[in-house]
Amino acid sequence: AQKVTQAQTEISVVEKEDVTLDCVYETRDTTYYLFWYKQPPSGELVFLIRRNSFDEQNEISGRYSWNFQKSTSSFNFTITASQVVDSAVYFCALSENTDKLIFGTGTRLQVFP
């Protein structure tokens, strides 16, 4: 069965600190997709990244980077030089052959000035 674990319930940092959000997944499929979403205080879900299981290259987008490691079933998200606007709940999610998107419980990130 598919499962996504985000063990960090809440993280607090001071602006300009780097922060890593952990995501561990379980799946029996060889083809699957991993996602990260951001939910700011306004409540909407904002898509950040999608990665398929055959592409283990790390990805960088501005201050955001993602580290995908199949050997440890992890898809971690790092924010470099965090800003107050990064304060949000971040969700990791997994989609396999059924196309259902299964979410982790989320990590609340608070960035203080």
Partner 1 sequence: DAEITQSPRHKITETGRQVTLACHQTWNHNNMFWYRQDLGHGLRLIHYSYGVHDTNKGEVSDGYSVSRSNTEDLPLTLESAASSQTSVYFCASSESIRGGGYTFGSGTRLTVV
- Restricted to residues 82-101, the positions that interact with partner 1 (CB under 8 A) are 91, 95, 97, 99-101
Which is it for the CA torsion 22, 24, 30, 33, positive or negative? negative
* Pairing state between β 64-69 and 74-79: antiparallel
Q: In terms of C-beta density within 10 A (0-12 exposed, 13-18 middle, 19 or more buried), how is residue 11 classed?
A: middle
Which position among 23, 79, 82, 104 is part of the footprint of partner 1 (CB under 8 A)? 104
CA distance 1 to 83: 36
47 is a site residue for partner 1 (CB under 8 A): yes
- Restricted to residues 9-38, the positions that interact with partner 1 (CB under 8 A) are 9, 31, 33, 35
Rounded CA Rg of the chain? 14
Q: How far is the CB of 111 from partner 1 (least distance, A)?
A: 20
Which position among 12, 14, 15, 45 is part of the footprint of partner 1 (CB under 8 A)? 45
Which position among 10, 84, 105, 112 is part of the footprint of partner 1 (CB under 8 A)? 105
CA distance 111 to 3: 28
Residues binding partner 1 (CB under 8 A): 6, 9, 31, 33, 35, 43-45, 47, 50, 52, 91, 95, 97, 99-106
